[in-house]
Amino acid sequence: MAEHVALATFAGGCFWCMVGPFEQYEGVKKITSGYTGGHKENPTYEEVCSNTTGHVEAVQIEYDPEKVTYDELLNTFWRQIDPTDDGGQFHDRGESYQTAIFYHNEEQKQQAIASKEQLEKEGPFDRPIVTKILPAKPFYPAEEYHQDYHKKNRTHYLLYRQGSGRADFIKRHWGDE
C-alpha cells in the first residue's frame, strides 16, 4: 500500500525555530524551510528580510495523514508562536516574520479556522489572535544553509531561541511541553 503524502504550510516567525517541533511525529516525512505568500518568484533570504517581496518565512511539511493528523500539526504550530503579535515574532520584526497558516484545501481551511476559534475561546491569551489563515501560494525553499539549521548549528540555534524570547514565551504560556 502506497503512503499518502499531504502538505501543511505554517509561518511562525523565524523558520529555524519551526522545524524541530514537527520532527516529533512519525508521520512527518520532510520539513522544508522557505518563503511563501508573496509576489516575487524565487526570492532570496536577503530579499525576504527587506520586507519588499510580500513573503514570510515558513515551513512546508510533507506528512502522512494516516500517521499524524492536520489537527496535531495545527496544535503544535499554535504552541510555537505568539499568535497575538502582528508585527513579527519575538525579537524578529517586520512582515517577513508574521504568522500565518497556509491551507492547501477546503478541509485544512476549516480545521485551521476551528483551531483558531478554539484558541481564542480556550487559550491562554488575553489579546486577540491575529494569525492569518490564507490559501497556499507557491512555496520557495530557502537556501541550503537554512535547512535543518537547528541541527547544523545547534549551539547558535539554542542561544537564538532563548535570546529571541521564544523559549520563555512558550514555557510561560504552555509549560514544559
Query: How do the domains of the chain map onto residue ranges?
Result: 6-174
List residues with catalytic annotation: 14
Q: Are 133 and 113 in contact (CB under 8 A)?
A: yes
Residues 6+ apart with CB under 8 A from 92: 13, 14, 164
Q: What is the pLDDT of residue 175?
A: 87
Q: Give the global pTM.
A: 0.95
Whole-angstrom Cα distance, residue 131 to residue 35? 17
**Is pLDDT of 24 > 50?**
yes
Q: What is the mean pLDDT of the chain?
A: 95
Q: Are 125 and 99 in contact (CB under 8 A)?
A: no
Helix (H) or strand (E) holding 73: helix 70-78
Class of domain 6-174: alpha beta
